[in-house]
Amino acid sequence: MPHWLIYHPPSAYQDAESKDSLAKAITAFYTGVDMPAFYVVVQFIEVPFASTYIGAETRGANDKPFIRLVATHIAHNYPPDDAVIRAAGQTFNKLLTAEIQPKGYDWEFHIAETDRRLWKINEFTPPERRTEGEALWVKENKPVPY
């Protein structure tokens, strides 16, 4: 699963429309590479102004919002190839820039990859990439026996 945690101050992502736009853009990337949509979990976590420090200082309601995005890739990891990993980072940078920059926010992101052998969904071990099982999960858009 790609799991995205989007930490934001109360002055950002205040309405469903702004959250929907970012969540849909993130999900579209993964479904565009044939992953089941239900794999993609995006959670918006509002953080009080007084609870975020950048350079040992907080930002207030009148300051530019700072957004911190943390993604964990479990379903599929990139091969250990520097060029591939950097290209993936650029792809996500473009996606996030298109969504966040027009809002005038500052942002930072990183993507961590974890071992899929420790991953289950509703008791199922998710199918391997580009298998009949994964195609079934894409079609059903939910975990089912395969």
Q: What is the 3-state secondary structure (H, E, C) of 41-82?
A: EEEEEECCHHHCCECCECCCCCCCCEEEEEEEECCCCCCCCH
In a domain, residue 67? The reply is yes
Say if 33 falls within a structural domain: no
Q: Using CA atoms in the order 64, 110, 26, 43, what is the torsion angle rounded to 10 degrees?
A: -70
Q: What's the one-letter identity of residue 142?
A: K
Look up the pTM and report it.
0.94
pLDDT digits (tens, 9 = 90+) for 49-94: 999 999 999 999 999 999 999 999 999 999 999 999 999 999 999 9
What does the pLDDT average to over 87-110? 98
Mean pLDDT across 116-122: 96
pLDDT band at 20 (very low <50, low <70, confident <90, very high): very high
Rounded to the nearest angstrom, the gap between the alpha carbon of residue 38 and the centroid of all alpha carbons in its chain is 13
Q: Give the pLDDT mean for 16-42.
A: 97
Model pLDDT, residue 70: 99
Say what the pLDDT of residue 12 is. 98
Please give the Cα distance from 38 to 141 (Å, whole number).
6
Burial (CB count <10 Å: 0-12, 13-18, 19+), residue 62: exposed
Q: Are 133 and 143 in contact (CB under 8 A)?
A: no
Domain hosting 101: range is 2-24+41-119
Q: What does R_g of the chain's alpha carbons equal in angstroms?
A: 17
Provide the H-helix boundaries in the chain. Answer: 16-31, 82-100, 132-140
Structure tokens at 71: 């993604």
Which of 76, 54, 79, 78 is CA-nearest to residue 65?
54
Domain count, the chain: 1
Residue 134 lies in a domain: no
Over residues 17-36, the mean pLDDT reads 97
pLDDT averaged over the chain? 97
Residue 68 is assigned to a structural domain of this protein: yes
Question: Domain with 67 in it: what CATH number?
Answer: 3.30.429.10
| Residue 10 placed within a domain | yes
pLDDT of residue 78: 95
